[in-house]
């Protein structure tokens, strides 16, 4: 499992776009990048997974540059309900020991 570094916290306002960058300098060739969202008093929820370039779903977009040493989770037009902790996880299917870092606390204000 690759070591990841994320900002501890970010503040935003409703309607803005939030971009959270995760650094993973020692990412391996076979590794994928995954993001999770955790609301208070709930377990984390899978948001998106990608390998390179750009992946988009109904919740977020994931941008991965060519060198894959970082990735950016983009949350378009956030609302108060997007206030949560966001975790970046980098690994491969054979990474059995999945550990989470501290994550990024995103606070959306009215």
Partner 1 sequence: NAGVTQTPKFRILKIGQSMTLQCAQDMNHNYMYWYRQDPGMGLKLIYYSVGAGITDKGEVPNGYNVSRSTTEDFPLRLELAAPSQTSVYFCASRPGTSGTFLELFFGEGSRLTVL
Q: Which residues bind partner 1 (CB under 8 A)?
A: 32, 34, 36, 41-46, 49, 85, 87, 89, 91-103
**Minimum CB separation from partner 1 for residue 101, in Å?**
6
CB nearer to partner 1: give 80 or 102.
Answer: 102
40, 81 in Cβ contact below 8 A? no
**Minimum CB separation from partner 1 for residue 106, in Å?**
14
CB nearer to partner 1: give 44 or 76.
Answer: 44
Order of strands across the sheet that contains 84-91: 9-13, 104-109, 84-91, 32-38, 45-50
Residue 81 three-state SS: helix
CB nearer to partner 1: give 14 or 56.
Answer: 56
- Alpha carbon distance 95, 31 (integer Å): 9
């Amino acid at each position: 499992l690759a070591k990841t570094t994320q900002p501890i916290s970010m503040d935003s306002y409703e309607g803005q776009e939030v971009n959270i960058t995760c650094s993973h300098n020692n990412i391996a060739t076979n590794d994928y990048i995954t993001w999770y969202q955790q609301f208070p008093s709930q377990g984390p929820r899978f948001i998106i997974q990608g390998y390179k370039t750009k992946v988009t779903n109904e919740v977020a977009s994931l941008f991965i540059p060519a060198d894959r040493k970082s990735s950016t989770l983009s949350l378009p037009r956030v609302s108060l309900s997007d206030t949560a902790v966001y975790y970046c996880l980098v690994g491969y299917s054979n990474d059995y020991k999945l550990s989470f870092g501290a994550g990024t606390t995103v606070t959306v204000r009215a």
